[in-house]
Amino acid sequence: MTLLEMTRAKRGRAPRRLSGPAARRGGAGTGASGAQARHVPALAQELIELLDPRPGECAIDCTFGDGGHARLVARRLGPAGTLVAIDRDPLAEERFAQFQREVPCSVRFIRSGYAEALELLAREGLQADMAYFDLGMSWMQVDARERGFSYSYDAPLDMRMDPDQELSAVEIVNSWDERRLARLLREYGEERYATQIARGIVRTRRREELRCTQQLVDVIKAAMPVPAQFAGGHPARRTFQALRLAVNDELGQLDAALPAAWDLLREGGRLAAISFHSLEDRRVKRFLADRARGCVCPPELPICVCGRQPEAELLSRRAVAPTPGEVASNPRSKSAHLRAARKLEVEPR
Ligand SMILES: C[S@@+](CC[C@H](N)C(=O)[O-])C[C@H]1O[C@@H](n2cnc3c(N)ncnc32)[C@H](O)[C@@H]1O
């Protein structure tokens, strides 16, 4: 049993109280503008247990959001510690202004994609004791109706985490050809009706430009058989996920950022990632498993000739999921999966 499994077993399955500002305000914020909404971090205690931040250490929060995880980490780092916060969303930068007044450690914010920010930190020669990702959208983004992340509100088809970037969802749905759209929906949305939805989008836009989320939701529903519209969650969920991933190049960012974050860690440093769908979790799992693999010689060789040593120790045998108590109090945590590893000393050959 790993350390985390032991602590979870001790805690039992009792519902966990919300922590942070949302708890003080009596629950999750949902409003017309993400500026009011607060984010309730998923798997927060589990993340802290695996990262185990200690006084004086340096942490990189690659997805600062509302700073829910960062607050818990910063408290453990204490006045001698340093926390570097990264986020591409200006709303996160606004939240950081408040955060820095509350926490005891030295802090710094970088508004950028995390792949580029980690490159910058490497050029500066930073070495960190931990780096972590809480992937996907913040509640502030989902609940800011005007940003078009949600299929539940009518809003412009936008979905940009960084409003300064050019590509938005409106451009993808109105300019990508049918095959490219279908491939996007299949690969990034794992959407069974990708071909039909792509065809519906292209047909509709011949008549009128698709500008709003509800126009797109109508096209998606019309492209699906009626029973499928009522099975497996909202019919637009997978298409919206695919568009959001493409608009923000989320998987490309993650592929570049995992090795960059790993390289910034000192020996003994910890890397953790919380994912919310299998496309992300698979990448994290593969990355960490690859670092944790030792000798790769064919089994028929009597001795190791590759000399490969594991660079990582996995901190949990399998992905950590939220307890039923957490899911009950924070339903958006339902699909969260946490994986983490510690960087090992590799002896020179
Ligand atoms: C799930 S939220 C993080 C919430 C945060 N852990 C908290 O407790 O408040 C994810 C955040 O990561 C940011 N983000 C997602 N992809 C990013 C990327 N490639 N580069 C920088 N920030 C990114 C989003 O803008 C969003 O604010």
Q: Do 186 and 271 form a contact (C-beta atoms < 8 A)?
A: no
Q: Do 90 and 163 form a contact (C-beta atoms < 8 A)?
A: yes
DSSP 193: T
Nearest atom (ligand 1) to Cα of 253: 19
What residue owns the CA closest to ligand 1's atom 4? 65
**Neighbouring residues of 95: CB distance < 8 A, sequence distance ≥ 6:** 64, 65, 66, 67, 140
Query: Residue 326 pLDDT more than 60?
Result: yes
Tens digits of per-residue pLDDT, 27-58?
333 444 555 678 899 999 999 999 999 999 99
Identify the helix (H) or strand (E) that includes residue 340: strand 337-343
Tens digits of per-residue pLDDT, 180-223?
999 999 999 999 999 999 999 999 999 999 999 999 999 999 99
**Which domains are present in the chain?**
3-141+250-343 (3.40.50.150), 163-245 (1.10.150.170)
- The CA distance from 68 to 85, in Å, is 12
Which residue of 62, 63, 247 sits with most ligand 1 atoms within 8 Å of its CB, as the best mutation to test the pocket? 63
How far is ligand 1, taken at its centre, from the CA of residue 171, in Å?
Answer: 23
Q: Do 110 and 84 form a contact (C-beta atoms < 8 A)?
A: yes
Quickly count: other Cβ atoms within 10 Å of residue 317's Cβ: 10
- Residue 11, pLDDT score: 38
Closest among 38, 2, 34, 41 to 322, alpha carbons compared? 41
Closest among 49, 71, 73, 46 to 59, alpha carbons compared? 73
What residue owns the CA closest to ligand 1's atom 18? 113
- Two structure tokens written together for 99: 């955060």
| pLDDT grade for 227, boundaries at 50, 70 and 90 | confident
- Residue 155, pLDDT score: 95
- The CA distance from 216 to 38, in Å, is 27
- Residue 24, pLDDT score: 30
Taking residues 126-145, what's their average pLDDT?
95
State the pTM of this model.
Answer: 0.89
What residue owns the CA closest to ligand 1's atom 22? 87
Say if residue 132 is exposed, middle or buried (CB neighbours under 10 Å; 0-12, 13-18, 19+).
buried
- Residue 267, pLDDT score: 97
Tens digits of per-residue pLDDT, 145-180?
899 999 998 999 999 999 999 999 999 999 999 999
Query: Residue 59 pLDDT more than 70?
Result: yes
DSSP 331: G
Identify the helix (H) or strand (E) that includes residue 196: helix 194-207
